[in-house]
Structure 1
């Protein structure tokens, strides 16, 4: 085999052909199972999609490159479960487009971050991380205090709906109003928001300033939602421990 490989290296086109063949085999092995994902990943009954405000926060999270330093995937290793909580299931990311599991951990994994810290902690941490974590190397994001542009929220929900996320016509039409309502429970649209997304969704002024809707509201709402969209991982861990 080594002699064959040695001789193949002398023939440039033969080597190229060999690389293409082996890469194709590897690609088929990795890609083929993805065509069965609809049959192999069962969506939990209690899984909810992100609200418009959380979705806006997720888009900002991606825009600012947060995924480059924070994974959202707890591995099924004892030390990870002890630190972060139940290991991640493919099913809980069924509505994520794109998914943000990742493997890079310059900062901690965020898959179970929701409601672990207060809104005020997140705001202070995003404005200047060293105010709450002195040794942090995370960059500051003070510009998140600017107003949130909600103009594309309905279009975002409509696009995701075409990809299988359960946003119906009412949710799509009310996207902008629902973003405002989630950050202001006293607003006229609060009842409609609860009707569309349920009473278990966090509704409050996330950035501490009720006078306006900001990117900070959106990002904090998104961070507080991580790990709270379904109880499936906790149920699986409980079953395995019995």
Structure 2
């Protein structure tokens, strides 16, 4: 049957369209019933702390994801350059995830701890001062004061989609967080204490090198320094033995 005959027969075209849409829908929906087999159980992967989460917000606001993916694909060349291929579980608390496919700059999935705080600050303020061939814009405005007035509201929004931040009275969830990641981390994931936790973390890390004020630079460097650090990849098999569990 020629295509024009289908286009001229509205009833037939409607039926064929419904069939195509149904098949496409099943292809997308059925795998969701097996999501527990797709996303690995990695107990060490935790939600971002308040400071890290604000850093992630700034990362998205500044459009960093447009040039830097956070997905090491299961190919030998990528593993040699960036490290172990990305696990789905690494992004379980990231809304939205930052996998991406665009790399004007290098992938950042494993950038945490690769450079010092001082290097990160200098690179963000004046990229070509440390990487002469860089085409990245300058971000000196990140040294401005950090706005965290909506911090608790942002955390509650993330909690609504499954991130295990805790509220007052949620003793059972709080205890689970203690068992998973320790009391210090569980305290940072407690929404009513979020502002105090954010300030304490910035003071402890002194990410921007200026302890006199809390800046956007503190937040984004804290975020960059945690990327790829939550999983001990020594516990996982070689990529050839487990590629189906990655991306």
| TM-score bin, normalised by smaller chain | 0.7 to 0.9
**Equivalent residue number for residue 235 of structure 2:** 235
1:176 aligns with 2:195: yes
**Equivalent residue number for residue 226 of structure 2:** 225
Deviation at 1:19, TM superposition (A): 5.2
Structure 2 contact 84–239 (Cα < 8 Å) conserved: no
Change (3 A) 1:9 1:55: same
Q: 1:103 aligns with which of 98, 101, 104?
A: 101
Q: Provide the secondary structure at the position in 1 that maps to 2:65.
A: helix
Once residues 151 and 66 of structure 2 are traced to their aligned partners in structure 1, the CA distance between those partners, rounded to angstroms, is 24
Change (3 A) 1:102 1:128: same
Structure 1 contact 43–91 (Cα < 8 Å) conserved: yes
**Equivalent residue number for residue 67 of structure 1:** 65
Once residues 5 and 227 of structure 1 are traced to their aligned partners in structure 2, the CA distance between those partners, rounded to angstroms, is 51
Once residues 18 and 105 of structure 2 are traced to their aligned partners in structure 1, the CA distance between those partners, rounded to angstroms, is 37
**Equivalent residue number for residue 189 of structure 1:** none
Change (3 A) 1:214 1:240: same
Deviation at 1:161, TM superposition (A): 1.9
TM-score, normalised relative to structure 1: 0.82
Structure 1 contact 86–237 (Cα < 8 Å) conserved: no
Summarize deviations over 1:26-48 as a string: whole Å, max 9, x none: 24312331344246424312222
Structure 2 contact 83–110 (Cα < 8 Å) conserved: yes
Deviation at 1:25, TM superposition (A): 2.3
Deviation at 1:237, TM superposition (A): 3.9
Deviation at 1:181, TM superposition (A): 0.5
Change (3 A) 1:73 1:125: same
Once residues 13 and 130 of structure 1 are traced to their aligned partners in structure 2, the CA distance between those partners, rounded to angstroms, is 62
Structure 2 contact 85–239 (Cα < 8 Å) conserved: no
**Equivalent residue number for residue 125 of structure 2:** 127
Change (3 A) 1:13 1:117: farther
**Equivalent residue number for residue 31 of structure 1:** 29
Change (3 A) 1:14 1:139: farther
Deviation at 1:234, TM superposition (A): 4.1
Deviation at 1:88, TM superposition (A): 0.5
**Equivalent residue number for residue 147 of structure 2:** 149
Change (3 A) 1:100 1:24: farther
Change (3 A) 1:149 1:131: same
Contiguous gaps of at least 5 residues in structure 2: 168-186, 242-247
Summarize deviations over 1:97-131 as a string: whole Å, max 9, x none: 11111111111111000010111111111112111
Once residues 143 and 102 of structure 2 are traced to their aligned partners in structure 1, the CA distance between those partners, rounded to angstroms, is 27
Deviation at 1:174, TM superposition (A): 0.9
Contiguous gaps of at least 5 residues in structure 1: 186-203
Once residues 119 and 30 of structure 1 are traced to their aligned partners in structure 2, the CA distance between those partners, rounded to angstroms, is 42
Count of residues in Structure 1 that have an aligned counterpart in Structure 2: 220
Q: CA RMSD in A?
A: 2.3
**Equivalent residue number for residue 213 of structure 1:** 214
Deviation at 1:75, TM superposition (A): 0.9
Deviation at 1:162, TM superposition (A): 2.4
